């Protein structure tokens, strides 16, 4: 069990590193032009939506990982 | 760097000794006013006073004022104001039981001084890949971060010494990370949190003489979150906090709504005849970090606490490795 928790922690760490890479490569380059003073605002909304989608995906993967590692404990 | 040594040493000494010396009279004061709760993990009817938040916040404010006298940084003001606001929110919850949404919403407002003082950098730094600029989105991150760190620390305050002991490990790990990324001023500003936690742990460890209460736990969590923001080490702070994040994640994913622990009917943990802790078979009980630790068999309160500390040390090491990745390597 204790090893399972350390494994889960390590898995979360890897997910953060990979997630960071995705955020920098996907969110970073997003920029909007042609809306004048609203460019920054619209760009931020798009970034927020993408970020929320990424967080939801991160949580779903984490749930799968949790079920995989703690299958026996959660069922009991 | 050399000129920072004196304020660092002075603030750490003040942080430690204010809490160390102020907590015993606070215990007596709270005891006289009968502000005590039953320690449910003890065989005998042991009453423990609460909240310990007042000595924690005085230690933090005193040490940070000393640092402000030397450094005059807006970041220090942001830490003092946001942490004090979190203390007040926690103290209200200590005295009067509030609804599940009170603390997250109130803590979101407590984050506003960070924005008002401009004590942040909207570049979010990630290991290996560099930074991403999210000027507007970052404001939302600040508002979310303080409730998350505050409630995360509050959620692991379930056994004697765990919240304060965990904060000792987490805050010193974060300070080391700040030194590694060469943010020396904020590293020094962060040190008092570790020393305040260490001094409080002396009275909070098994068997507890005082509980931090919501005022103490939210003060710890809010200060930690504010340091993460003003130091620009949000990702590293999240990694250090992973064991507590796991606890909140497991709890929320099993309960599926934001709710106070005391509102949950099923008990995740019960006692054996010799008063060791063991995981229950209650299907309605939430899955928590302690319940998972106990899935391997009954353990004493102290053993569970030390297992959580080992997890915290492991996360701290991962965060330090990540800090080195941020300084040395970029893909």
Query: What pLDDT sits at residue B262?
Result: 62
Q: What is the CA radius of gyration of chain B?
A: 19
Would A30 be classed as within a structural domain? yes
Rounded Cα distance between B62 and B68, Å, is 10
**C-alpha distances in angstroms, B26 versus B20, B87, B211?**
11, 16, 11
Rounded Cα distance between B196 and B201, Å, is 9
B230 is written with which tokens? 């003003």
CA-nearest residue to A51 within chain B is B137
What is the complex's ipTM, to 2 decimals?
Answer: 0.87
Under an 8 A CB cutoff, do A1 and B311 touch?
A: no
Under an 8 A CB cutoff, do B246 and A63 touch?
A: no
Would A42 be classed as within a structural domain? yes
Query: What pLDDT sits at residue B143?
Result: 94
Interface of B with A (CB under 8 A): 124, 126-137, 140, 235, 238-239, 242-243, 245-246, 249-250, 253, 279, 281, 287, 289, 291-293, 295-296, 307, 310-311, 314-315, 318, 322, 331
B70 is written with which tokens? 């030397």
How far B252 CA sits from the closest chain A CA (Å)?
11
B93 is written with which tokens? 């919850």
Give which of B235, B187, B242, B197 is closest to B217, Cα–Cα.
B197
Of A10-14, A16-20, B310-314, the range with the highest mean pLDDT is B310-314
Q: Is A8 on the interface with B (CB under 8 A)?
A: yes
Among the partner-chain residues A8, A9, A21, the one whose CB lies closest to the CB of B129 is: A21
Under an 8 A CB cutoff, do B126 and A12 touch?
A: no
How far A37 CA sits from the closest chain B CA (Å)?
14
Among the partner-chain residues B129, B134, B249, the one whose CB lies closest to the CB of A47 is: B134
Rounded Cα distance between B219 and B261, Å, is 19
Percentage, residues of chain A above pLDDT 90: 12
Rounded Cα distance between B284 and A14, Å, is 31
Encode pLDDT of A25-59 as tens digits: 887 788 888 888 888 788 888 888 888 888 889 88
Would A76 be classed as within a structural domain? no
B208 is written with which tokens? 């507890």
Q: Which residues in chain A touch residue B279, judged by CB atoms under 8 angstroms apart?
A: 73, 76
CB B272 within 8 A of CB B291: no
Half-sphere exposure of B115 (CA within 13 A, CB side): 17
Q: Is A37 on the interface with B (CB under 8 A)?
A: no
Rounded Cα distance between B240 and B108, Å, is 22
Q: Which residues in chain A touch residue B249, judged by CB atoms under 8 angstroms apart?
A: 59, 62, 66
Residue A32's domain comprises 2-71
B98 is written with which tokens? 């509030």
Q: Is A58 on the interface with B (CB under 8 A)?
A: no
How many domains would you assign to chain A? 1
pLDDT along chain B (331 residues), means of 10: 88 97 97 92 88 96 96 96 97 85 92 94 86 84 94 92 97 96 95 97 96 96 97 95 89 71 72 86 82 88 95 97 81 46
Beta-bridged to residue B125, according to DSSP, are B131
Q: Is A42 on the interface with B (CB under 8 A)?
A: no
Query: What pLDDT sits at residue B331?
Result: 46
Under an 8 A CB cutoff, do A1 and B293 touch?
A: yes
Among the partner-chain residues A9, A28, A48, the one whose CB lies closest to the CB of B315 is: A9
């Amino acid at each position: 069990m204790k090893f399972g928790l350390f494994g889960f922690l390590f898995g979360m760490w890897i997910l953060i590193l990979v997630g960071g890479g995705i955020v920098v490569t996907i969110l970073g380059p997003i920029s909007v032009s042609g809306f004048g003073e609203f460019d920054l605002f619209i760009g931020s909304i798009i970034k927020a939506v993408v970020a929320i989608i990424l967080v939801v995906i991160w949580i779903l993967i984490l749930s799968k990982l949790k079920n995989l590692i703690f299958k026996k404990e959660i069922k009991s | 760097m050399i000129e920072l040594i004196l304020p660092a040493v002075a603030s750490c000494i003040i942080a430690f000794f204010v809490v160390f010396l102020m907590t015993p009279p606070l215990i007596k004061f709270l005891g006289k006013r009968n502000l005590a709760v039953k320690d449910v993990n003890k065989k005998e009817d042991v009453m423990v006073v609460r909240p310990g938040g007042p000595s924690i916040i005085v230690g933090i404010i005193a040490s940070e004022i000393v640092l402000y006298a030397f450094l005059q940084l807006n970041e220090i003001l942001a830490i003092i104001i946001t942490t004090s606001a979190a203390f007040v929110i926690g103290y209200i919850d200590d005295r009067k039981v509030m609804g599940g949404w009170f603390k997250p919403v109130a803590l979101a407002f407590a984050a506003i001084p960070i924005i008002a003082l401009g004590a942040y950098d909207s570049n979010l730094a990630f290991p290996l890949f560099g930074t991403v600029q999210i000027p507007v989105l970052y404001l939302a991150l600040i508002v979310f971060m303080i409730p998350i760190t505050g409630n995360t620390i509050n959620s692991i305050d379930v056994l004697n010494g765990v919240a304060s002991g965990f904060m000792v490990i987490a805050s010193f790990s974060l300070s080391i990370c700040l030194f590694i990324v060469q943010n020396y001023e904020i590293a020094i500003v962060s040190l008092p949190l570790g020393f305040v936690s260490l001094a409080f742990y002396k009275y909070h460890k098994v068997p507890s003489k005082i509980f931090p209460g919501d005022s103490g736990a939210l003060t710890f969590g809010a200060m930690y979150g504010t340091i993460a923001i003003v130091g620009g080490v949000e990702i590293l702070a999240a990694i250090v906090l992973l064991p507590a994040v796991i606890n909140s994640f497991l709890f929320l994913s099993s309960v599926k709504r934001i709710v106070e622990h005391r509102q949950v009917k099923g008990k995740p943990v019960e006692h054996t005849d010799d008063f060791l802790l063991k995981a229950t078979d209650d299907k309605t009980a939430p899955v928590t970090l302690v319940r998972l630790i106990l899935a391997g068999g009954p353990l004493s309160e102290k053993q569970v606490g030390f297992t959580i500390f080992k997890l915290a040390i492991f996360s701290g090491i991962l965060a330090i490795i990540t800090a080195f990745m941020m300084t040395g390597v970029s893909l």
